Amino acid sequence: MLMSESHDQHQAAGLRTITEPKPVQVLAVTSGKGGVGKTNVSVNLAVSLCMQGRSVMLMDADLGLANIDVMLGLKPAYNLSHVIKGERSLDEVIVEGQQGLKIIPAASGVKLMADLDPMEHVGLIRAFSELSCDLDVLIVDTAAGIADSVVSFTRAAQEVIVVVCDEPASITDAYALIKVLNMDHGVQRFHILSNMTHTAQEGHNLFSKLTRVTDQYLDATLSFMGSVPYDDYLRKAIKRQKPVVESYPRSRAAMAFKNLAVKADKWPRPEAATGSLEFFVERLIRSSTRQTESIT
């Protein structure tokens, strides 16, 4: 009897291990303005994490100007809009990219998250909760700026990466984005990534420009994630529709992305109770609902 009970307990424990949602690290990559290389950062960071043995999914959340599929030379038959409409499951729209990277193509040109009705909300939560693949990291490539969808995705993520470059508008708009997320939505921690820098010092200077203002006016913590140097090999990789970390692995940009991936991989992991993809989408929808209510 005791042996049987012990066996049953072990079986039950095994079932709980299988069915409990696995903690998933959700990283949002965003920027104050377009043209700073945000999507390139998302793609190469995701592929670099795959190279480190992580199971990674990249979600194209730029709902108006989707371009991850174009950047990687993919031609997906379905996208997130088909999931929202209930026409396809999330597993059915996922396409595989380099190094086993799983990609959710964007629903380009369709309604923003804040416009989804309650039934679509439920459908999206169910789609993520029924996802069969085993994930370590979800990277969300948001649109640029402070649109409602950007706020929703960044609020729902556990870590927010803000990409900046050495242009006055980039710094100004990055500060505006951080200010909105911090003051209006309670986001307190941001990772700053300097892109297309010509020297290592330039990257630190960009970070210092931001912190001088945020330290004075905001209750936010900024950390310097690192820099990606300006690199002609990066442009060559874009033309080939390949990640630079795979096409030119020894280039300066590729080495920088690999170092950034090592750093991101050391960030704290979420607890199981708050780290599932279902939890991420629930937070996303709550954020969108609050924005809709504030407008009405």
Residue 117 has pLDDT above 90, yes or no: no
- The predicted model gives 17-43 an average pLDDT of 84
Buried-state track 233-265, b at ≥16 Cβ within 10 A, e below 16: bbeebbeeebbbbbbbeebbbbbbbbebbeebb
- The predicted model gives 276-284 an average pLDDT of 68
Residue 105 has pLDDT above 70, yes or no: yes
Residue 296 has pLDDT above 80, yes or no: no
Task: Looking at mean pLDDT, say which of 70-74, 119-123, 254-258, 266-270 comes out highest.
Answer: 254-258
- pLDDT for 159 equals 94
Secondary structure class of 172 (helix, strand, coil): helix
Half-sphere exposure of 134 (CA within 13 A, CB side): 5
Per-residue pLDDT tens over the stretch 155-214:
888 999 999 999 999 999 999 999 999 999 999 999 999 999 999 999 999 999 999 999
- Percentage of the chain surpassing pLDDT 90? 56
- The predicted model gives 132-161 an average pLDDT of 87
- pLDDT for 3 equals 43
* Residues facing 44 on adjacent strands: none
Output Rg (C-alpha) for the chain, integer angstroms.
20
**Residue 263: partners with Cβ closer than 8 Å, 6 or more residues away:** 225, 226
> For tokens 């597993």, what's the residue?
91
- pLDDT for 70 equals 87
Helices within the chain (DSSP H only):
2-19, 38-51, 68-71, 80-84, 90-93, 118-129, 148-156, 168-179, 200-217, 232-239, 244-247, 252-265, 277-295
In the structure encoding, which two tokens stand for residue 172, read together? Answer: 């100004």
**Residue 280: partners with Cβ closer than 8 Å, 6 or more residues away:** 24, 26, 128, 138, 156, 157
The fold adopted by the segment(s) 22-265+273-295 is Rossmann fold (3.40.50)
- pLDDT for 14 equals 46
Contact 161, 28 (CB under 8 A): yes
- pLDDT for 272 equals 54
Per-residue pLDDT tens over the stretch 44-74:
999 999 999 999 999 998 876 778 988 999 9
Contact 152, 113 (CB under 8 A): yes
Nearest CA-CA partner of 166 in 194, 190, 199, 208 = 194
Domain boundaries, the chain: 22-265+273-295
Predicted model pTM:
0.86
Q: Give the least confident one: 16-20, 26-30, 115-119, 287-291.
A: 16-20
Greater model confidence, 67 or 277? 67
Long-range contacts of 177-183 (CB under 8 A, 24+ apart): 177/30, 177/31, 177/32, 177/145, 177/146, 177/150, 178/210, 178/214, 178/218, 178/220, 178/222, 179/217, 179/218, 180/146, 180/151, 181/151, 181/154, 181/155, 182/214, 182/218, 182/219, 182/220, 183/218
Chain Cα centroid distance, residue 1:
51
Query: What's the rounded Cα separation, in Å, for the pair 181 and 189?
Result: 10
- pLDDT for 152 equals 81
- Percentage of the chain surpassing pLDDT 70? 78
